[in-house]
Structure 1
């Protein structure tokens, strides 16, 4: 069925599936009798909530929602195009496209069957890139932004004998967010680093946030016309990080599309074959666009420009990205917030507990694109997670086939390095869903719901 609106009558709901707006937005089954969650902190809210729905008094989901009935069956209403929201209303699920009308998917049945059918329908409507297991080393959770050419050379030298495919340089190489040239800590430039990564036997990967610009960046000063304006004509603030606010680029502006094309071609020319494109949600913020278009549809169109510039042989990983708008364009997508080195901090989105919960509730997307649940850990140095939490993260990686690691090799004890080597060399597991959060991984039962509680699994003390 298609149209601007769709209503699916449902029986009394005992649970509601809320699907978050983008990668880091909470996704979970919740109690429909309780009030919808509202994030009180403004900065945190900017980074995870759709500004048009961050104070809704009705339960809702980005693009899709579902209810569980008393008999355990599920009713689902999902959009098959970007720019839709689905609310739980009295007596039904009510979906609405904010821009152009589009197709809808409805189903009732077992949870696994209903969500699998929806994922297949999304792939049929929006396309699907080839599914490929990933084994990736990223600089982020070992070094964060404090990276340098010399430090990464040392890491490359220390990864010998470990079966990584991709070596991905994360945030910290650029002069500023929006100014995508190497800073003084990379005197040989990014092309030289890509050559060294390839010579070490890895696929070169690089992090970018091409659709935002820091307020103090040279780009923002030189190109104010390319920033998305609000109703007052001021640049939209899509969040705060790196010591200040950052602005959205207008994805409908011809100058932005030319800029994105040139930027991605330049980075590809340096030799990077794996691009992690981050903070993409910012281009879907409300604002006065150069050309009238749906917020997510215009983001998707800008991402299609970057896909064409990157080429079909370049792996594109979306992060901080609306899910439905990313399908068919990206090879993979982050499906939860940042893992971090701790279990749970109620004041933060980042943390292993939140990453496990949201990632586990998006595993129905398996087969539609590669799913990145974020990294797992093998080190004990500078890590506040116990064995139970670490095991959950590794099982998420086995279920998704996306094995990301950030442990600097010189932080690993010989035993930790041996366990990491074995993990990377494992054959891909036979994975079967056996119910909500319950999986068979080869012949082993895995219950991811152990990771949904504030208390860290396997620890008696209070969660951190």
Structure 2
């Protein structure tokens, strides 16, 4: 049969269901309870089943069910946020076990499909599970391949961290080997770039884990994609909460194969954004300053006001976005008296700027948990709000703070108290930090929040509603600092890494996150945030050399971005660098694009790419390629050789004019680009074909 509304062919036989959209063929084996797919480009998935935990038993559609068929005996047309396609439901039954309703959705033209399943209780009861895997496959011959069998290029698997805490890194793990990822992964050939991208596209209940291993370099032999991840890297100390009810649903898993895995990750990001759109922001890349790296706990009124005055001068020389500059308090803004805080906001506004503030909604930093919670009229103490395990014991601290239950009425009242005060005091930007505390597994006040993600959504839904421009009458930028990558619809920007200060090691660390998550920009979030940009010196570090400082600035410019400076500009050297660098109109124009550069190469390991590119367009319509190149060696020069065919398809066949945006130097290149760099140096290049 062929869908009347789509160009997708489907066939239901006695032993198999087949769906073909021209880009892939999905096959469900009705005899064995497994499924697989073959893509036109040669990638393949084989021997996959759905699996779940029931009590202490791990059950699967392959091993524990014998009765199965296509529900309704048909494949139906669908049109949803991802497009037009067809959906088939395969029902699996076994005596004494919940029924499994497995759903497969294939879309027109797209080289991807979505798989999920539900468990239905038998005899009118309930079913509960803390582990539901829409994809479980184990085959020595290769469960997952990025190209045709027989291809010999070794694979890499991208490890995506659950959050950005504790200086976690993205990593490209070389096969043979094992990797664990969260919410998404890409399995790809670094040289050809062919790859398969897998990940969750709904984030309403589960923390999704992805594990894979192989004794082969060219195929993944074992892979699991499951809801129920709870471990050290999700920051959990107790198991994932179990979903329970008459029926419960797994995460929806998106699986796609692409000739360039980078396009696959971007498609995955767009799929998530189609289902849960990023919080809308129509006011451009935030430019400005954040206090943390300048002063940390020594923040005071003088630093804040003097920074506002200094950047007022930089505004006149071009450092702004549509005239807007944010001057943002970080932690320890409470050092200021209420009167000083009021004067500080008035001072910033008098300079034609906007004021920003900082808060941690889900973390308790005090030592006296018996004290009354602000905003609750004395009805609650912090001890009531603190999250506990299922036996009633306090969870261990995380980053020095105890977790607050986002669902507790006292927590919600506390949130309203603080956010309403921020609005009333005239702030227009908030950095929300240590949000992972709110996603921890535990026993929540609201019993309907059975998992950490469900509880997190309660708290974040409330924050989003309180700061809704329709409610408060003005735009209010919500920046997520240390936070899970998903769910992503609660912030205009999210910090792409953990804290990144001014040293070259900080630049490389932040760019490691860009190497693995450039695709989150303008998809999951409107902007990736590269953290405070330190031109000269952080409060906790030695001064940087000039190349080192400008590399930190270049890294921020190409990240998406949120361009907040991080220096104490009372220091002469910091003022000098800012005065020399911040008025560069061509560099600032790149930052204002609001687009993240893409890694040119992804070498295996946990380092950063050293070259990033972006195709763009000049005001006159001229197509250009922007290229940032870094030398991460602090002690020795290096010459980077970049084949232009790796930068853009066909780039090796064209002649290019190359302009360096800092020096203005112009050169020519063909075939490859040789970039000599001094120690710690980077360049920002504009390439125009001719």
Task: After TM superposition, give the deviation of residue 14 of structure 1 in Å.
Answer: 2.1
Give the distance between the partners of 2:636 and 2:533, measured in 1 at CA. 15
The structure, 1 or 2, with the larger RCO (C-alpha pairs under 8 Å, 6+ apart) is 1
Residue in 2 that maps onto 1:102? 251
In 1: Cα distance, 2:172 partner to 2:371 partner: 40
Please name the residue that 1:30 is paired with: 173
Q: State the alpha-carbon separation in 1 of the partners of residues 634 and 223 from structure 2.
A: 30
Q: Does structure 1 conserve the Cα–Cα contact (< 8 Å) formed by 2:164 and 2:498?
A: yes
Q: Which of 382, 390, 403 is the aligned partner of 1:248?
A: 403
Shift of 1:456: 8.7
Q: Which has the larger displacement, 276-285 or 334-343?
A: 334-343
The range that moved more, 12-21 or 199-208, is: 12-21
Is the 2:301–2:344 Cα contact (8 Å) retained in structure 1? yes
CA distance in 1, matches of 2:356, 2:454: 27
TM-score (norm 1): 0.81
Question: Could you say which residue in structure 1 is the equivalent of 2:482?
Answer: 320
Cα root mean square deviation, aligned: 2.9
Cα-to-partner distance string for 1:110-141 (whole Å, 9 max, x where unaligned) = 12210110010010111122353121201111
How far, CA to CA, are the matches of 1:360 and 1:217 in structure 2?
42
- Aligned to 2:440, which of 279, 285, 298? 285
Aligned to 2:353: 202
Cα distance in 2 for partners of 1:360, 1:419 equals 29
Unaligned runs of 5+ in 2: 1-113, 118-131, 138-142, 147-153, 215-220, 229-242, 244-248, 373-380, 470-474, 602-608, 615-623, 638-676, 681-690
Q: Which residue of 1 aligns with 2:498?
A: 337
Are 2:306 and 1:154 aligned?
yes
CA distance in 1: counterparts of 2:227 and 2:588, whole angstroms: 44
Name the structure with the higher helix share. 1
Cα distance between partner residues in 1 of 2:463 and 2:393: 26
Match among 262, 268, 277 for residue 127 of structure 1: 277
The 1:123–1:405 alpha-carbon spacing in structure 2 relative to 1, beyond 3 Å, is same
Q: How far apart are the structure 1 equivalents of 2:296 and 2:288?
A: 16
Shift of 1:315: 0.7
1:445 paired to 2:627: yes
Equivalent residues of 1:337, 1:358 under 8 A apart: no
Structure 1's 86 and 195: CA in aligned 2 closer, same or farther, altered over 3 A?
same
Q: Which residue of 1 aligns with 2:145?
A: 11
Instruction: Please say if residues 137 and 166 of structure 1, whose CA atoms lie closer than 8 Å, have aligned partners that are also in contact.
Output: yes
8 Å contact kept, 1:28–1:358: no
Pairing 1:75–2:196 present: yes
Conserved in 1, the CA contact under 8 Å of 2:198 and 2:253?
yes
Query: CA 1:119–1:454 in structure 2 vs 1: closer, same or farther (change >3 Å)?
Result: farther
* 2:392 corresponds to: 233
User: Kindly tell me: are residues 355 and 67 of structure 1, through their superposed partners in 2, closer, same or farther at Cα, counting changes over 3 Å?
Assistant: same
Residue deviations 1:348-372, cap 9 Å, x none? Answer: xxx3332221233211112112110
Which moved further from structure 2: 311-320 or 420-429?
A: 420-429
Aligned to 2:291: 139
1:190 positional shift: 3.0
Identify if the C-alpha distance between structure 1 residues 150 and 388 changes in structure 2 by more than 3 Å, giving closer, same or farther.
closer
Q: For residue 252 of structure 2, give the secondary structure of its aligned residue in structure 1.
A: strand
Distance 1:279 1:32, change over 3 A: farther
Query: Which of the two has greater strand per residue?
Result: 2
SS at match of 1:409: coil
Distance apart, 1:154 and its partner CA = 2.5
Q: In 2, distance between residues paired with 1:456 and 1:285? A: 44
Shift of 1:167: 0.5
1:288 alignment partner, SS class: coil
**Larger Rg over CA atoms:** 2
Q: Which residue in the other structure is 2:181 paired with?
A: 61
Aligned equivalents of 1:78, 1:456: Cα separation in 2: 40
Separation of aligned partners in 1, 2:555 and 2:588: 14
Report deviation, 1:32: 4.1
Instruction: Tell me the number of residue pairs that the alignment of Structure 1 and Structure 2 aligns.
Output: 416
Query: Does 2:210 match 1:86?
Result: yes
* 259-268 vs 375-384, which moves further: 375-384
**Is the 8 Å Cα contact of residues 60 and 88 (structure 1) preserved in structure 2?**
yes
Q: Which residue of 1 aligns with 2:337?
A: 186
Matches within 5 A, 1:398-417: 398-399=557-558, 400-413=560-573, 415-417=576-578
Gaps of 5+ in 1: 35-57, 175-182, 345-350
Quote the Cα distance in structure 1 between the aligned partners of 2:172 and 2:584.
31
The corresponding residue for 2:533 is 376
The residue matched to 2:314 in structure 1 has which SS?
Answer: coil
Contact 1:206–1:276 under 8 Å retained in 2: yes
* 1:151–1:410 distance in 2 versus 1, CA, 3 Å: closer
- The aligned counterpart of 2:162 is 21
